Amino acid sequence: MVYGTAPKEITTKDESLMECPFPLDYDDNMSDEDPEYDEDEEKTAKRKEVVEEDSTFAVEMKLPKKSKFDEETAFKKVAADKAAKQAEVTIDDDEPDYEPDDEFTRQRLHAWVLIQRGARDMMSSIFIEPTTARKYSLENSPYHSIEAIFNHQNFWVNLDPSREIAELNMDF
């Protein structure tokens, strides 16, 4: 166990600015086939009688006239409606809300887990945040300083907690 100081986002478990660890490219149910479709529906439907047509003469059916302007106007209206609906449900401000400076900067106490390299085929030591289960390397951790480290046998105290975590010797 590691005892030290951490930023406000870690100690209050504010994950609003964290990157989502889960894949966001999920498959939408609407792209699948209709779940209400019944395979036997076609078999049980009444058969339509086939009416034979008289083939002595054929009437040529002409398509109704369409205005290209009306089609373009309708297409633009549909696109504008779709964009308006998307804008209603989308938060487009990428900047985080204004947070006043933390009055307890580098004074918020916190505890997290250190797993040493060597044991259990670990190639490098890592920190694990117990509230979120996120893993951090020692060189790239969000924590400010280490006050003490302890396990079931020993208790190590850091005599210079102002040093960066990446500078500390973690070989005990």
The structural domains of the chain, with segments of one domain joined by +, span 2-14+103-161
pLDDT in tens, 40-86: 666 665 545 555 566 677 778 888 888 899 999 999 999 999 999 98
Q: What is the rounded CA–CA span in Å between residue 47 and residue 50?
A: 9
Q: Is the pTM of this model over 0.85?
A: no
Least confident residue range of 9-13, 19-23, 126-130, 159-163: 19-23
Q: What is the rounded CA–CA span in Å between residue 36 and residue 29?
A: 12
Retrieve residue 77's tokens: 């209206």
Q: Check pLDDT > 90 for residue 104.
A: no
Q: Amino acid identity, residue 101?
A: D
pLDDT band at 20 (very low <50, low <70, confident <90, very high): confident
pLDDT in tens, 112-123: 999 988 867 888
Helix (H) or strand (E) segment spanning residue 83: helix 68-89
